[in-house]
Amino acid sequence: MRYHPHSHELLAHWRDNPRRRVLWGIALVVLGSVVLLDRLAVLDLTQYLGPQARWWHFGPLLLLLSGAISVLSARSLQHALNGLLHIVLGTWVFACLAQLWGLTFTNSWPIPLIVTGVQMLVHGWFGSQCTVTKEVAQ
Protein backbone atom coordinates (compact mmCIF):
# COMPACT_ATOMS: atom_id res chain seq x y z
CA MET A 1 0.00 0.00 0.00
CA ARG A 2 1.44 3.35 -1.03
CA TYR A 3 1.34 6.29 1.30
CA HIS A 4 -0.37 9.31 -0.13
CA PRO A 5 1.05 12.52 1.39
CA HIS A 6 -2.37 14.11 1.74
CA SER A 7 -4.35 11.03 2.79
CA HIS A 8 -4.70 12.26 6.37
CA GLU A 9 -6.25 15.50 5.05
CA LEU A 10 -8.74 13.57 2.93
CA LEU A 11 -9.74 11.36 5.85
CA ALA A 12 -10.06 14.38 8.12
CA HIS A 13 -12.29 16.07 5.55
CA TRP A 14 -14.73 13.16 5.70
CA ARG A 15 -14.49 12.53 9.43
CA ASP A 16 -14.50 16.12 10.71
CA ASN A 17 -17.16 17.62 8.49
CA PRO A 18 -20.57 17.38 10.16
CA ARG A 19 -22.11 19.57 7.45
CA ARG A 20 -21.28 16.88 4.89
CA ARG A 21 -22.94 14.17 7.02
CA VAL A 22 -26.07 16.29 7.57
CA LEU A 23 -26.35 17.10 3.85
CA TRP A 24 -25.94 13.43 2.92
CA GLY A 25 -28.55 12.45 5.52
CA ILE A 26 -31.06 14.96 4.17
CA ALA A 27 -30.33 13.97 0.58
CA LEU A 28 -30.78 10.25 1.23
CA VAL A 29 -34.03 10.78 3.16
CA VAL A 30 -35.44 12.95 0.34
CA LEU A 31 -34.26 10.58 -2.42
CA GLY A 32 -35.58 7.53 -0.58
CA SER A 33 -38.92 9.24 0.06
CA VAL A 34 -39.32 10.22 -3.60
CA VAL A 35 -38.52 6.70 -4.80
CA LEU A 36 -40.87 5.19 -2.19
CA LEU A 37 -43.69 7.53 -3.26
CA ASP A 38 -43.06 6.51 -6.88
CA ARG A 39 -43.17 2.81 -5.97
CA LEU A 40 -46.41 3.32 -4.02
CA ALA A 41 -47.91 5.08 -7.09
CA VAL A 42 -48.39 8.33 -5.15
CA LEU A 43 -45.91 10.12 -7.40
CA ASP A 44 -45.19 9.40 -11.07
CA LEU A 45 -41.48 9.94 -11.79
CA THR A 46 -41.94 9.14 -15.47
CA GLN A 47 -43.85 12.42 -15.70
CA TYR A 48 -40.61 14.24 -14.81
CA LEU A 49 -37.97 11.86 -16.22
CA GLY A 50 -39.88 10.77 -19.31
CA PRO A 51 -41.43 7.41 -20.19
CA GLN A 52 -38.04 5.93 -21.14
CA ALA A 53 -36.65 6.46 -17.62
CA ARG A 54 -35.35 3.35 -15.89
CA TRP A 55 -33.68 2.68 -12.54
CA TRP A 56 -30.19 3.39 -13.95
CA HIS A 57 -31.23 7.00 -14.58
CA PHE A 58 -30.76 7.48 -10.82
CA GLY A 59 -27.02 6.79 -11.10
CA PRO A 60 -26.28 10.24 -12.53
CA LEU A 61 -28.51 11.71 -9.83
CA LEU A 62 -26.18 10.27 -7.20
CA LEU A 63 -23.22 11.86 -9.00
CA LEU A 64 -25.04 15.20 -9.08
CA LEU A 65 -25.94 14.85 -5.42
CA SER A 66 -22.38 13.95 -4.49
CA GLY A 67 -21.12 16.97 -6.37
CA ALA A 68 -23.60 19.37 -4.83
CA ILE A 69 -22.77 18.14 -1.33
CA SER A 70 -19.05 18.43 -2.03
CA VAL A 71 -19.47 22.01 -3.24
CA LEU A 72 -21.70 23.00 -0.31
CA SER A 73 -19.40 21.46 2.30
CA ALA A 74 -16.06 22.26 0.62
CA ARG A 75 -13.20 23.38 2.81
CA SER A 76 -10.76 23.82 -0.04
CA LEU A 77 -10.67 24.68 -3.71
CA GLN A 78 -9.84 21.07 -4.54
CA HIS A 79 -12.99 19.75 -2.84
CA ALA A 80 -15.14 22.37 -4.59
CA LEU A 81 -13.58 21.53 -7.97
CA ASN A 82 -14.16 17.82 -7.40
CA GLY A 83 -17.78 18.58 -6.58
CA LEU A 84 -18.20 20.63 -9.75
CA LEU A 85 -16.64 17.80 -11.75
CA HIS A 86 -19.21 15.36 -10.32
CA ILE A 87 -22.05 17.76 -11.17
CA VAL A 88 -20.92 18.15 -14.78
CA LEU A 89 -20.28 14.42 -15.24
CA GLY A 90 -23.64 13.51 -13.69
CA THR A 91 -25.40 15.97 -15.98
CA TRP A 92 -23.54 14.59 -18.99
CA VAL A 93 -24.36 10.96 -18.16
CA PHE A 94 -28.03 11.81 -17.59
CA ALA A 95 -28.16 13.81 -20.85
CA CYS A 96 -26.67 10.84 -22.72
CA LEU A 97 -29.07 8.33 -21.14
CA ALA A 98 -32.07 10.53 -21.90
CA GLN A 99 -30.57 11.64 -25.25
CA LEU A 100 -31.12 15.29 -24.38
CA TRP A 101 -29.82 17.85 -26.89
CA GLY A 102 -28.93 14.96 -29.20
CA LEU A 103 -26.15 13.81 -26.88
CA THR A 104 -25.17 10.15 -26.78
CA PHE A 105 -22.12 8.48 -25.31
CA THR A 106 -20.87 7.92 -28.86
CA ASN A 107 -20.97 11.53 -30.02
CA SER A 108 -20.11 13.32 -26.78
CA TRP A 109 -17.39 11.24 -25.12
CA PRO A 110 -14.84 14.11 -25.34
CA ILE A 111 -16.89 16.17 -22.86
CA PRO A 112 -15.52 14.35 -19.76
CA LEU A 113 -11.99 14.79 -21.12
CA ILE A 114 -12.50 18.53 -21.55
CA VAL A 115 -14.13 18.97 -18.14
CA THR A 116 -11.44 16.96 -16.36
CA GLY A 117 -8.75 18.95 -18.18
CA VAL A 118 -10.34 22.26 -17.15
CA GLN A 119 -10.54 21.04 -13.55
CA MET A 120 -6.85 20.12 -13.61
CA LEU A 121 -5.94 23.50 -15.12
CA VAL A 122 -7.88 25.44 -12.50
CA HIS A 123 -6.46 23.32 -9.70
CA GLY A 124 -2.95 23.71 -11.10
CA TRP A 125 -3.40 27.44 -11.56
CA PHE A 126 -4.68 28.15 -8.08
CA GLY A 127 -3.11 25.17 -6.32
CA SER A 128 -4.02 24.38 -2.75
CA GLN A 129 -3.50 27.95 -1.58
CA CYS A 130 -7.23 28.60 -1.43
CA THR A 131 -8.49 26.77 1.63
CA VAL A 132 -11.57 27.71 3.52
CA THR A 133 -10.87 28.23 7.20
CA LYS A 134 -13.06 26.81 9.92
CA GLU A 135 -14.98 29.42 11.82
CA VAL A 136 -15.07 28.86 15.55
CA ALA A 137 -18.30 29.86 17.25
CA GLN A 138 -17.66 31.96 20.30
List the end-to-end C-alpha distance of the chain, in Å, as a whole number: 42
pLDDT of residue 94: 85
Cα–Cα distance for residue pair 119/78, rounded to 1 Å: 9
Query: Is 127's pLDDT higher than 50?
Result: yes
- Which pLDDT tens digit goes with each residue over 44-97? 877 776 666 666 667 788 888 889 988 988 888 888 888 888 999 999 988 888
* Calpha distance 54→122 (Å, rounded): 35
Residue 121 sits at the vertex; the CA angle it makes with 105 and 116, to the nearest 5 degrees, is 20
DSSP designation for 131? B
Q: Look at residue 46 in the predicted model and tell me its pLDDT.
A: 74
Q: What is the pLDDT of residue 1?
A: 44
Classify burial at 26, counting beta carbons within 10 Å of its beta carbon; exposed 0-12, middle 13-18, buried 19 or more: exposed
